C-alpha cells in the first residue's frame, strides 16, 4: 500500500504572457501544443490574461484558426467529448484566448507588423510585457525566424516593458555538430541561455522525472546504483509505428539523428548522472553534461563491435501487414538508412567504469516500449546450484516510461514444496493503479515549466553539442543495415552483438 501525502509543495502560478506559436498550421501545433495548452487552461494552470497567437503563412482569420484548434483538441485531448454539442464551457473560454497572425518567415515587413501587434498597449500592458516565442516549424526555418526576432527584439526591449522574453525550440536541434553549433550561435546572439528552452517531450514523462527521485529519495536504490552491483544497463525505445509519411525527412535523419542523439542520450544522462548539489536547473544539467564528457569516444576499429544498424522489411505489426521501409513514400528503393540502431557505450568515471550501456532504438517493432533496465550482478558463488538447484535468477530493475509508466524489481523466491526450486517474481509499481487520474501530458508539463521559467527538463547548449560530438564518428559510417521483418524485435544479429536477449 502506498501512502499518499497531501502535496505541500508550493504551486507556482504562471504569469500572464503572450504565447506566440510559429508554425501554427502544422501537425505539431494541432496534435500536441493546442491540446496541451487546453489541458493547462482546464486545470487553471494558465494565467487568465494569457493570450495565444498562432503565426503561420496561410491567410486565415482568427475564427478559422479557432475552428482548426477545436478539431485538434477534440481529436487529441483526453478530456473533450467527441460530440461538439457536449463541448464544455471551459473550451469556449479557451478559444477566446486564441488569435491568428498571418506571416511569411522570410519577410522582414511581416515581422515589423508582428512587432507592432505585440507592442499594442492594450495587449502588452495586460500581460505585463511577457512574451514567449515557440518555434514549432520545420528546422530549416529556425535560424531565419530567430534572426528576424533578433531584428525586432530591440524594439520590443526598448518599449518600456518590464516582462521577460523566452524562446522554446523543438528538436531536432541541428543534424550534426556543425549545424548544432551554428544554431546555438544564432539563438544565443538573440537570447540569453536562461531564456532558451530546447524541448524534448520525453523529459516531460513522469517516470523520466522519477529517475532522480527513485535514486536520491530512496537510499535502498541509491546504494545499488553503481558498477559495484550493476553488470549492465539497457536503455531502449521501441516503436510499433514506422516513419508516418515522413520518408523525405527520415532519409536524411535515420534513427540515430531522430531518436538516439536526443531521446536515448537524455535518458542515459539522467540514469548515469551523479547526485546534483541542489535540485535547481543548472546543477542538474551540470551533472548531465559530465556524463557526456565521460563517454568513451569511438576511435575507429571495427564498427560492428560498437554499433549495429537495422532496417525493417515487410512484415506485420499487431496483426496488420506492413510494407518495407524501402517501399515507403519518399524513400529510395535501395535506401541504406537505418530504422534500427543498437549501440554499446561506456562511461569512464568512478561510478560506471566497466559497465556497458546498451542503447537500442527501433521502428516497426513487436511492441511499443521505452524502458531503462538495470541488470544486477549475480552472486559470486552459485550456492544453490551446488545444492543441486537449477538457479538462473537475475535481479533486474526496470523503469517503464511508456506506454505503461511504472517500476518493477525482479528477484528470486523459493517455489513451495520440495525439492528446492527457485522461481522469478516481480515486485511492480504502476502509476495508473496508484494514481488513477491521467498523468499530465508531457507537453503540458513542459509548457507549464517554460511559463514559470523552470529550465530543469530542457537541454542546455553544451549538453546538445556534447551529444552531437560523441555521435559524429557514427554518423559518418557507411551503412549496411541488417534487415528485420516488421513486427520483430530487431535484427537477429543483435543477440550476438549484445550477447544478451533484448526481447
Report the residue count for the chain.
503
- In Å, how far are 155, 203, 345 from 200, measured between CA atoms? 31, 6, 22
Torsion of CA 413, 415, 419, 420, to 10 degrees: 0
Residue 46: exposure state from Cβ atoms within 10 A (0-12, 13-18, ≥19): buried
- Smallest CA-to-CA distance from 456 within 308, 193, 279, 208 is with 279
Q: How far apart are CA 306 and CA 302, in angstroms?
A: 8
CA dihedral sign, ordered 247, 248, 249, 254? positive
Between CA 58 and CA 67 the distance in angstroms is 15
Residue in the structure block whose three cell numbers are 517503464: 400
Considering just the CA atoms, what is the radius of gyration of the chain in Å? Answer: 25
Tell me the pairing of strands 482-485 and 307-313.
parallel
DSSP assignment string, 232-253 = EEEEEEE-S---TT-HHHHHHH
Which one of 263, 358, 375, 390 is the catalytic residue? 263
**341: which strand partners?**
309, 361
Longest dimension (CA), the chain: 84
Which segments are annotated as binding site?
A: 57, 171, 201, 205, 239, 258, 363, 368
Work out whether strand 18-22 and strand 406-414 pair parallel, antiparallel, or are unpaired.
unpaired
* SS3 call for 339: coil
Torsion of CA 208, 214, 216, 218, to 10 degrees: 170
Our answer to whether residue 263 is catalytic in this structure is yes
* Phi-psi category of residue 471: left, alpha or beta, with phi > 0 → left and psi -120 to 50 → alpha: alpha
Report residue 399: phi and psi, to 5°. Answer: -105, 110
Give the E-state strand segments of 300-456 in sequence order: 307-313, 315-317, 320-322, 340-346, 356-362, 369-376, 396-402, 406-414, 422-430
Burial class (CB in 10 A: 0-12, 13-18, 19+), 100: buried
Binding residues for substrate: 201, 205, 239, 258, 363, 368
**Element (H or E) spanning 131, and its range?**
strand 131-135
What does the DSSP 8-state code read for residue 393? -
Quickly tell me which residue has 555538430 as its cell. Answer: 177
Q: Is omega for the bond preceding 419 within 30 degrees of 0, making it cis?
A: yes
Q: How far does the chain reach from its first CA to its final CA, in angstroms?
A: 31
Helix 142-157 × helix 108-118 angle, to 10°:
40
Query: Any idea which residues carry the catalytic annotation?
Result: 263
Amino acid at each position: 500500500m502506498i501512502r499518499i501525502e497531501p502535496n505541500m509543495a508550493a504551486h507556482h502560478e504562471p504569469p500572464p504572457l503572450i504565447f506566440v506559436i510559429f508554425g501554427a498550421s502544422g501537425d505539431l501545433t494541432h496534435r500536441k501544443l493546442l491540446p496541451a495548452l487546453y489541458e493547462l487552461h482546464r486545470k487553471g494552470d494558465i494565467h487568465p490574461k494569457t493570450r495565444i497567437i498562432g503565426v503561420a503563412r496561410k491567410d486565415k482569420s482568427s475564427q478559422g484558426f479557432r475552428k482548426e484548434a477545436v478539431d485538434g483538441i477534440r481529436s487529441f485531448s483526453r478530456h473533450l467529448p467527441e460530440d461538439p454539442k457536449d463541448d464544455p464551457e471551459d473550451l469556449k473560454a479557451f478559444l477566446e484566448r486564441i488569435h491568428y497572425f498571418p506571416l511569411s518567415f522570410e519577410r522582414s515587413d511581416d515581422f515589423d507588423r508582428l512587432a507592432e501587434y505585440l507592442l499594442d498597449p492594450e495587449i502588452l500592458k495586460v500581460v505585463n510585457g511577457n512574451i514567449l516565442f515557440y518555434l514549432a516549424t520545420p528546422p530549416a526555418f529556425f535560424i531565419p525566424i530567430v534572426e528576424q526576432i533578433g531584428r525586432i527584439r530591440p524594439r520590443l526591449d526598448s518599449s518600456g516593458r518590464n516582462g521577460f522574453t523566452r524562446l522554446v525550440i523543438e528538436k531536432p536541434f541541428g543534424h550534426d555538430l556543425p549545424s548544432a553549433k551554428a544554431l546555438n550561435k544564432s539563438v544565443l546572439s538573440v537570447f540569453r541561455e536562461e531564456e532558451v528552452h530546447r524541448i524534448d517531450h520525453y523529459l516531460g514523462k513522469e517516470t523520466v522525472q522519477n529517475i532522480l527521485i527513485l535514486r536520491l529519495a530512496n537510499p535502498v536504490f541509491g546504494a545499488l546504483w553503481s558498477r559495484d552491483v550493476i553488470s549492465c544497463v539497457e536503455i531502449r525505445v521501441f516503436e510499433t509505428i514506422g516513419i508516418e509519411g515522413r520518408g523525405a525527412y527520415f532519409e536524411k535523419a535515420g534513427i540515430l539523428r531522430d531518436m538516439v542523439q536526443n531521446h536515448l542520450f537524455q535518458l542515459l544522462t539522467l540514469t548515469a548522472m551523479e547526485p546534483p548539489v541542489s535540485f535547481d536547473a543548472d546543477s542538474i544539467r551540470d551533472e548531465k553534461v559530465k556524463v557526456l564528457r565521460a563517454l568513451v569516444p569511438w576511435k575507429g576499429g571495427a564498427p560492428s563491435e560498437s554499433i549495429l544498424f537495422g532496417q525493417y522489411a515487410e512484415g506485420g505489426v499487431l496483426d496488420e501487414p506492413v510494407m518495407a521501409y524501402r517501399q515507403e513514400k519518399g524513400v529510395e528503393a535501395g535506401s541504406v538508412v537505418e530504422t534500427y540502431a543498437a549501440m554499446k557505450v561506456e562511461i569512464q568515471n568512478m561510478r560506471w567504469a566497466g559497465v556497458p550501456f546498451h542503447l537500442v532504438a527501433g521502428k516497426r517493432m513487436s511492441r511499443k516500449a521505452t524502458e531503462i533496465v538495470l541488470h544486477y550482478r549475480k552472486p559470486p558463488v552459485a550456492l544453490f546450484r551446488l545444492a543441486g538447484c537449477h538457479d538462473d535468477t537475475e535481479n533486474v530493475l526496470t523503469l517503464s516510461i511508456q506506454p505503461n509508466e511504472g517500476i518493477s524489481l525482479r528477484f528470486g523466491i523459493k517455489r513451495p514444496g520440495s525439492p528446492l526450486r527457485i522461481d522469478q517474481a516481480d515486485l511492480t509499481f504502476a502509476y495508473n493503479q496508484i494514481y488513477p487520474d491521467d498523468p499530465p501530458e508531457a507537453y503540458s508539463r513542459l509548457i507549464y515549466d517554460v511559463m514559470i521559467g523552470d529550465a530543469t527538463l530542457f537541454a542546455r547548449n553544451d549538453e546538445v553539442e556534447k551529444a552531437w560530438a560523441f555521435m559524429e564518428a557514427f554518423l559518418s559510417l557507411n551503412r549496411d543495415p541488417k534487415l528485420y521483418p516488421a513486427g520483430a524485435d530487431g535484427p537477429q544479429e543483435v543477440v550476438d552483438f549484445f550477447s544478451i536477449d533484448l526481447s
